[in-house]
Chain A
Amino acid sequence: MVTSSPKSWLFKRNRPGREPPSGALLPLSELASGERATFVELRGGRGVKGRLTALGFTPGVAILMVQNYGWGPLIVEVRDTRVALGRHEAEHILVRRS
Chain B
Amino acid sequence: MSEPYPIGIANLREGTKLKREIPLVALAGQPNTGKSTLFNLLTGLNQHVGNWPGKTIERREGTFQHNSRSFRLIDLPGTYSLTANSPEELIAREFILREQPDLVIALVSAANLERSLYLVAELISLPTPLVVALNMMDVAELEGYRIDVELLQAALGVPVVPVVATRAQGVRELLQVVEQVLNKERVLMPRLPEIRADHRQALKEIQNLIHGYIPAPYPLEWAALKLLEGDAELTRLVRESLPPERWEAVHEVLRAHDDALMAVASGRYEWINRILRAAVTRPPIGQIGLTERIDRFATHPILGLVILALVLGGVFWVTFTLGSPLQEWLEIQVVERLAEFAATSLAAAPTWLQGLVVDGIIGGVGSVITFLPILVIFFAAFGLLEDIGYMARAAYVMDNFMHLMGLHGKSFLPLFLGFGCNVPAVMGTRVIDSWSARLVTILIAPFVPCTARMAVVAFLAGAFFERYATLVSWGLALLALSMLVVSGVLLNALLFRGKRSAFIMEMPLYHIPNSRTIALLVWQRTVAFVKKAGTVILAFSVLVWVLSVLPGGELEGSFLARFGKLVEPVGRWMGFDWRLTVALLTSFLAKENAVATLGVVFGAAEEGGLSQMLLTTYSPAVALAFLTATMLFIPCAATLAVIKQEAGSWRWALVNLALMLALSVSVSSLVYWLARSWGW
Contacts and interface: CB of A to CB of B under 8 A. Distances in A.
Given A75-B299, A89-B503, A47 B399 contact: no
A72 B397 CA distance: 9
A44 to B, nearest CB: 8
Nearest to A86: B503
B88 to A, nearest CB: 11
Give the residue among A1, A54, A69 with the most B Cβ atoms within 10 A. A54
B479 to A, nearest CB: 27
A56 B268 CA distance: 10
Interface size class of B (residues with CB under 8 A): 35 or more
A19 interface: no
Given A47-B1, A50-B85, A54-B85, A84 B262 contact: no
Contacts of B269: 56, 58, 61, 79
Interface in B279-318: 286, 288, 291-292, 295-296, 299-303
B300 A11 contact: yes
Interface string A55-98: 11011110000110101110100011111111011000000000
A58 B115 CA distance: 12
Contacts of B303: 10
A62 B300 CA distance: 24
Contacts of A56: 114-115, 118, 269
B441 interface: no
A58 B114 CA distance: 13
B504 interface: yes
A86 B399 contact: yes
Nearest to A42: B262
Given A75-B299, A81-B112, A54 B118 contact: yes
B400 A47 contact: no
Contacts of B302: 10
Interface in B459-505: 500, 502-505
Contact of B409 (A1, A48, A84): A84
A88 B504 CA distance: 10
B121 to A, nearest CB: 10
B507 A51 contact: no
B620 interface: no
B112 A2 contact: no
A55 B504 contact: yes
A5 interface: yes
B677 to A, nearest CB: 42
A66 B295 CA distance: 10
Nearest to A72: B400
Given A46-B230, A51-B85, A55-B80, A84 B114 contact: no
A72 B401 CA distance: 9
A49 B230 CA distance: 10
A59 B262 contact: yes
A2 B296 contact: yes
B504 A89 contact: yes
A54 B266 contact: no
Nearest to B111: A80
A88 B399 CA distance: 12
B400 A58 contact: no
A47 B81 CA distance: 12
A71 B86 CA distance: 28
Nearest to B434: A47
B392 interface: yes
Nearest to B433: A51
B4 interface: yes
A48 B506 contact: no
Contacts of A51: 80, 85-86, 502, 504
A84 B507 contact: yes
Contact of A86 (B4, B265, B408): B408
B502 A48 contact: yes
A37 to B, nearest CB: 15
A9 B118 CA distance: 40
A47 B261 contact: no
Contacts of A10: 300, 302-303
Given A11-B296, A83-B506, A85-B503, A50 B114 contact: no
A98 B506 CA distance: 24
B94 interface: no
A6 to B, nearest CB: 12
Nearest to B2: A47
Contacts of B291: 82
A84 B505 contact: yes
A79 B303 CA distance: 28
Nearest to B272: A79
A19 B266 CA distance: 30
A68 to B, nearest CB: 10
B396 interface: yes
B115 A89 contact: no
A94 to B, nearest CB: 13
A88 B498 CA distance: 14
A84 B504 CA distance: 6
B182 interface: no
Interface in B497-547: 500, 502-507, 509
Nearest to B231: A50
B301 A52 contact: no
A45 interface: yes
B229 interface: yes
A13 B595 CA distance: 54
B232 interface: yes
Nearest to A57: B265
Contacts of A66: 292, 295
Contact of A67 (B4, B229, B299): B299
A55 B116 CA distance: 9
A73 B375 CA distance: 32
Contacts of A49: 230, 261
Contacts of A72: 301, 399-400
Contacts of B112: 80-81
Contact of A54 (B265, B299, B395, B509): B265
Contacts of B396: 73, 75, 84
A53 B121 CA distance: 13
Nearest to B229: A50
B158 to A, nearest CB: 21
Given A58-B269, A59-B266, 19 more contacts: A10-B300, A10-B302, A48-B504, A49-B230, A50-B229, A51-B86, A53-B261, A53-B265, A55-B80, A59-B262, A72-B399, A75-B299, A75-B507, A80-B115, A82-B506, A83-B505, A84-B409, A86-B502, A88-B502
Interface of A: 1-2, 5, 10-11, 44-56, 58-61, 66-67, 69, 71-73, 75, 79-86, 88-89
22 contacts: A10-B300, A10-B303, A11-B296, A44-B1, A47-B1, A50-B230, A51-B85, A54-B85, A55-B506, A58-B265, A67-B299, A72-B301, A72-B399, A80-B113, A82-B295, A83-B507, A84-B392, A84-B409, A84-B506, A85-B503, A85-B504, A88-B503
